[in-house]
Each structure stands twice: as C-alpha cells, then as structure tokens.
C-alpha cells in the first residue's frame, strides 16, 4: 500500500498521535506547480512476527506511549512545549522511570513536542498502542534478507517483512524515519521514501476535471467516471451497519468488526483507478490537469438530513491527493481552479445564472439556449479558467528575485542613512 505525501515529509504530530486506522494517504494541500524536486511516498511493509516478537513490540509501544503521557503531563504543568527545553526537563526521568533507550526517549520527546504544535489549549494524551517513530539508530533495514533489526524493550530483534514488488523497489529510496503501527493484531512499518520528480512537461492546454457525488469525476473531453457503483456500496454498507448496530448481539458485533474499513478500501481503490486514468490521459495529450479547489466545502454547503451521510462520505480530497501525486510522478502540472459558478456558467455566451441548471444533470442557458450535460460543461469551464490563468513560473521566479534585490537595497540604504551608523 502506498500513501502519497507531496511537497514535504510527514509531520510527526499528524502520524504519531493518531491510531493506526487513521493513518492513511494524506497530502499537503500545497500543489507543486513549478520546480522539479521530490515526491514523498510511504511504503508499507508487514512484519512477519513470532508470538514472542509481537508481544515485545506491543510492550514497546505501550511503554513508549506511557512515557509520552508522562512527558505531556510535565509539558502541560510547566507550560514548556519546545522540544529542546522539554528534553532538558524530562530526559533523565524518562530513561530511569520507563527503561527506554536514549534514542527512543528522544523520539518520545519529539512526538509530544510535535503534538503540541497544533495548539496548546488542551493537554495531549496518547493511545496505549498508538504509532511510535523509529529512526536509523534504532531501526536498520536489511533489504537483501528482507528483514529489519528493530529495538524493543526486550532488546534488539530481527524480524522478516513482506511487501509487494512496487514497495520493494520503493523501499530502496527510503529516507528518514519510519512509523511502527499495530492494526488488527498485525505490526506494520510505514517508511518514508523519496522519489525524484521528473521535469514538468510543456503543457498544451488543460484537462478540466469536475468532481461530484453522482459522478465522481467528469473531464472536459466528456469522459464520465460514474459514482453509481460506489454510492450503491456505501448505501448497502450503511444500511447493514444500522441493522447490525440495532441488533447488538455478539455475532452482530463480530460481523461489524469484519466489515470495518471494507467500504473505505473499496472507495480508495476506485479513486486510485480514476486518478490513474486521468493522469494517463493528461500525460498522453500533453495537458495540465485543472481541478476545483473544494477546500472547506463541507462547512460551506448545507443539505437535507437524508443527504448528510452522502455528502460527508464524499472522498473528493482523497481523489485530489491521488491525482496530485500521480501527476507529479508523471511530470504533469496540476492547477487549482476556483469552483465558483462552474456549473452555472454558459461556455458560449458567458451567462451566469442559477436557472441555467434546472436539474442535477442538465444545463440549459436561459440567454442563448445552449444546453448539455451539466458536469461536462462544468469541466469545460474549469479547463478554460486554467488556460486563461496559467502558472507563469518564469515570471514568478523573476519577480521573486527582483523583490529580493529591492529588499536588500532598501535594507542597505536604511543602514547607511541611519544617523548612528552613517559614519561606520
């Protein structure tokens, strides 16, 4: 399983303070538009543990998270949240009280400090079997033998791992830290891998992509990626969960546990499939991909009670994340576009009117009479907005250099003109 990360390495507070179920594909909302660099991907490998090794890893996670709770309590009482200052306060006590090695103690302090970076309004607590971070001092990879040497509270132990062919290639570019997670009584390592991003292709236009619920995506060429199958799966799972929760028997709870995550995995596979097809089309036709910027749409949009579950199960952000990192790996530029009135604007006469959209699927301009499939027209409008306002990399870079030189000149003139420094 690969989880994309674009433009920056994983933020520790977003990984180590959450449960394994919540650790999934997540990406920075920033989109690479200009400079070639690297793409951060996460390679997941499964540890083939013996019962003794699994017990040792569980004990290590529990001890480390108890240490994190202790560090968090000290940080909260002393109002000290910076890693260096916190290190001086708790390092020796944690080593003595919990029996952790030096580097594991450092990683626990970093985990707590990162958890408080979001805000300091409430005291942080950590789950007993929450993810913990390993670096190269306490975790070594032996790729030829397909095993890792990992530190535990019972001492170092060598554990074989298994992964897919793609992960095997990806793990060769591993850099930085790895997270140990426990999911359904199985241990996994999530390793950060650094992939070189190719030079962006010279775009000849933009492929507009309209995202939706009824149709997951519709591009400006008219290709429709229907959401009928995934919506049926979600409705069926939602109805089944309601029945089982109402029943409340032990067998019903066992079935609920078995069904957990099945719907999300299906939706994730659908989003992977769609994103691959869109990126392949854009790459083959040498076009950029124009996407709606739907940030905060769940807070802005209000729907009827019976439609709330449908709206809040809409995984548009995941699809955009997959499109973004796959496009980076293919050298395709991704352009965010303001989604305002894209489905109400006539591409022929430019009329913007709510009445242009008489139904979910139909568009009919009240001014010129132009009509068609609403989602396709929205995708065409998205494409045209991206073409009108393309990212001008050279101009932006030149402007940045110019602003820097002006800033340096102003700073220099300010120093030489200061009455106390004029003679220096």
9: pLDDT strictly greater than 80: no
Residue written as tokens 């045209």? 384
pLDDT grade for 415, boundaries at 50, 70 and 90? very low
pLDDT of the residue at 200: 86
Residue 422 has pLDDT above 60, yes or no: no
Q: Say how far apart CA 231 and CA 217 lie, in whole Å.
A: 13
Query: Which residues, in sequence order, are CB contacts of 1 under 8 Å at separation 6+?
Result: 44, 167
CB 383, CB 206: distance < 8 Å = yes
> Structural domain boundaries of the chain?
2-196, 206-388, 394-424
Q: To which H or E segment does residue 193 belong?
A: strand 186-196
Q: Mind listing the pLDDT tens digit for each residue in 74-114?
A: 999 999 999 999 999 999 999 999 999 999 999 999 999 99
Q: Is the pLDDT of residue 12 over 80?
A: no
For residue 29, pLDDT over 50 is answered with: no
The first and second tokens of residue 403, run together, are 């602003």
Per the confidence metrics, is the pTM higher than 0.75? no
Residue with tokens 């190719």: 198
Residue 258 CA from chain centroid, whole number: 26
The predicted-structure confidence for 295-340, as pLDDT tens digits, reads as follows 777 666 666 776 676 666 667 888 999 999 999 999 999 999 888 8
Token match 């999911």: residue? Answer: 183
Which residue from 309, 216, 219 is spatially nearest to 267, judged by alpha carbons? 216
Residue 144 clears pLDDT 60, i.e. is over it: yes
pLDDT, average across residues 219-229 = 89
Under a CB-based contact definition with an 8 Å cutoff, are residues 20 and 182 in contact? yes
Q: In 331-392, which ranges are continuous DSSP H helix?
A: 374-388
Higher-confidence position of 350 and 52: 52
Question: With contact defined as beta carbons under 8 Å apart, do 171 and 251 qualify?
Answer: no
pLDDT in tens, 358-411: 888 899 998 888 898 999 999 999 998 886 555 554 444 444 444 444 444 433
Percent of the chain with pLDDT over 90: 49
Confidence check: pLDDT of 145 > 80: yes
β-bridge mates for residue 196, sequence order: 38
DSSP 404: H
pLDDT bin (cut points 50, 70, 90) of residue 288 is very high
Q: Is the pLDDT of residue 424 over 80?
A: no
């Amino acid at each position: 399983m690969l989880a994309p990360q674009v433009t920056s390495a994983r933020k520790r507070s977003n990984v180590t303070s959450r449960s394994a179920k919540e650790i999934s594909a997540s990406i920075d909302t920033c989109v690479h538009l200009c400079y070639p660099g690297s793409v951060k991907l996460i390679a997941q490998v499964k540890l083939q543990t013996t019962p003794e090794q699994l017990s040792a890893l569980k004990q290590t996670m529990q001890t480390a998270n108890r240490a994190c709770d202790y560090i968090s309590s000290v940080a909260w009482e002393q109002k000290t949240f910076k890693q260096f200052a916190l290190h001086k306060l708790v390092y020796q006590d944690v080593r003595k009280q919990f029996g952790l090695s030096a580097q594991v103690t450092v990683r626990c302090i970093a985990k707590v400090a990162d958890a408080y970076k979001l805000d300091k309004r409430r005291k942080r607590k950590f789950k007993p079997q929450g993810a913990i971070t390993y670096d190269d001092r306490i975790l070594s990879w032996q790729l030829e033998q397909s095993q890792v040497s990992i530190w535990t509270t019972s001492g170092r132990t060598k554990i074989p791992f298994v992964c897919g062919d793609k992960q095997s290639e990806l793990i060769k570019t591993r850099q930085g830290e790895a997270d140990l997670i426990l999911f359904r009584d199985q241990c996994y390592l999530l390793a950060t891998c650094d992939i070189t991003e190719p030079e962006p292709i010279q775009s000849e236009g933009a492929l507009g992509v309209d995202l939706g619920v009824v149709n997951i995506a519709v591009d400006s060429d008219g290709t429709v990626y229907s959401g009928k199958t995934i919506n049926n799966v979600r409705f069926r799972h939602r109805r089944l969960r309601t029945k089982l929760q109402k029943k409340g028997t032990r067998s019903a709870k066992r079935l609920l546990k078995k069904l957990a995550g099945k719907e999300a995995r299906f939706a994730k596979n659908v989003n992977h499939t769609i994103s691959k097809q869109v990126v392949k089309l854009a790459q083959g036709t040498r076009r950029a991909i124009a996407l709606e910027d739907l940030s905060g749409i769940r807070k802005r949009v209000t729907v009827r009670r019976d439609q709330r579950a449908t709206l809040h199960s809409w995984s548009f952000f995941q699809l955009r994340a997959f499109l973004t990192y796959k496009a980076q790996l293919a050298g395709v530029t991704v352009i965010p576009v303001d989604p305002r009135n894209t489905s109400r604007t006539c591409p022929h006469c430019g009329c913007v009117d709510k009445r242009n959209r008489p139904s979910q699927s139909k568009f009919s301009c009240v001014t010129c009479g132009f009509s068609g499939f609403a989602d396709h027209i929205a995708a065409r409008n998205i494409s045209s907005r991206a073409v009108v306002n393309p990212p001008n990399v050279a101009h932006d870079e030149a402007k940045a250099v110019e602003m820097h030189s002006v800033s340096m000149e102003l700073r220099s003139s300010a120093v030489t003109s200061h009455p106390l420094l004029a003679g220096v």
